[in-house]
Amino acid sequence: MFILSTPPTESFETISRNLNSYPASLTYNSQSQLVSIVYTISVDNIVTKLFTYENDLLTSISLLKNNIPYRTKIFNYVNNQLIGFTYTN
């Protein structure tokens, strides 16, 4: 079973890869943008990815464990061009 540790020890990318094998529910906004994916690992272990947009650009993906912020990947743009990203805990 996939369990997120507290405090976070797994990288954002490792968590994202591991989640792909679990049942997921996807939600889209009125602009057809993906806004969340909820992964049900077990009854008491739910992981959510939240997608945030600004001016149609993906600005961040946040991972939540049972609705508690876990890790976030923030995308950086210059003139609407992706120039990099950073991670937060």
Reported pTM: 0.83
Nearest CA-CA partner of 41 in 59, 66, 68: 66
Name, in order, each residue with C-beta under 8 angstroms of 77's C-beta and a sequence gap of 6 or more: 57, 59, 83
The pLDDT tens digits for 10-37 are 677 777 777 888 889 999 999 999 999 9
pLDDT grade for 89, boundaries at 50, 70 and 90:
confident
pLDDT greater than 70 at residue 2: no
CA atoms within 13 A on the CB side of 3: 6
Could you tell me what percent of the chain has a pLDDT over 90?
57
